[in-house]
Every structure is written in structure tokens, then in C-alpha cells.
Structure 1
């Protein structure tokens, strides 16, 4: 597990621009990247990070390298990040679009419970 920002950037480069932008892992203040360090260069498998909202919530984001999905790597990274957040007295929070079934499955596997929905309305100024 690494908190080196370069590993978060490397993971984002391995993913689609849309996936990387949706999560924003490298922009988060607290990141945890699971690495496969069997080769000469560590390979990022999955990462989870969080930003602190209102001094009480750990707003989580998770990203998994395309060739590493459905292997439990995201759940491992989430478990470590959420554990660290809770040790700091924060409440981990996960938000996912309703059509992002992979994110929802990962959240449920990691122990998160569905607690509601959010609707955003953009008004013209």
C-alpha cells in the first residue's frame, strides 16, 4: 500500500479519462494505492482516497486499473482507507451514480449501506 502521489497519478493514467476524472483520486488529500510490487516497477492495482468534509465525513473515491477489476483489489483499498478515516473519528461516506453498478457493488462489499439518494439541480443564472 502506498500514499505516494505518483502511484495515484500512475493509476489514473492506466484508467480511462472519464473514470479518472469521476473519482479524482490524485486530487484527494488522503490516498491509498494497492501495488503489485513483484516486478521491477510497482504496478498500481487499485486505489482509494478521501477528502474530509465538514470535519466529520470522509468522502471516499475508489479507482481500479482496468485489467485488475473484479479481483477484490478495490475492496482492499477501501477497507484500509475507511479504517484510517474511522481511526481519525471520521464517518466514511460513499456516493455513486445509480447506473454505476460496479461502484455500488464495491461499496456494499466493503460494508457500506445504502442510506439515500441525492438529486442535483443546476439552475441557469
Structure 2
């Protein structure tokens, strides 16, 4: 079973849709490299904000931060990182923070995979 988020023409992508990402940059690989670099630069801050919201048991901040970051992540994937951010947003909205720590750990792992795929994609497409 496969969908557009899991493979590219070489069959190596689990999370990203390379064609969709290229379309986002209208085929301009320099612009695409800038977009991906910008995304990669905000990931640590966004992850830290989510982690702090969970640690401080701040449900409202968790919901708002996860929602905003989900929108940014959606530019690159609608797979696991996106779905986990939706889950964290929902947990914040329903004030179920005891479940959020587990989802956050899963998000950390999935974000590392997304970052790795985006770096490989840039190496292939932007050079």
C-alpha cells in the first residue's frame, strides 16, 4: 500500500512528497532551498515551545503552538509529524496533558525523520 506522501520516483521518501514540495517553490530550486532552510531553522524553537507548554501544563499554549507549527509542517508532509501535531493540538484543547508527553516523544522522532528526508531531498534537488 502506498500513497503520495510515502514515496518519490526513487521510492525513498516515507514522509515527504517531493513533487508537491517542488511545486510549492514553482520549480525554483534556489527558492526551495531557502524555504527548507527557513523551516529547518524554526523547528528547534517550535519543538521547545511545545515541550515547555507540556512541562508547564499549559494546555492553551500547547494547543496554539501545535496548531501553528502544524500549518508549517503541512507544507512538507501530511504524514506522521502533521498527525502528531494535530493530536497535540487536540490534547491541549481538551486539557488532556497527561497524554501529551508520549505524543511529544513520538513527534521528536518523526521530526528527526522529516528533517533527514528534507536534507536528503535538498542534496538531490538543489545542487
TM-score class, shorter:
under 0.3
Greater strand fraction, Structure 1 or Structure 2:
1
Greater helix fraction, Structure 1 or Structure 2:
2
* TM-score normalized with structure 1 length: 0.25
* TM-score normalized with structure 2 length: 0.25
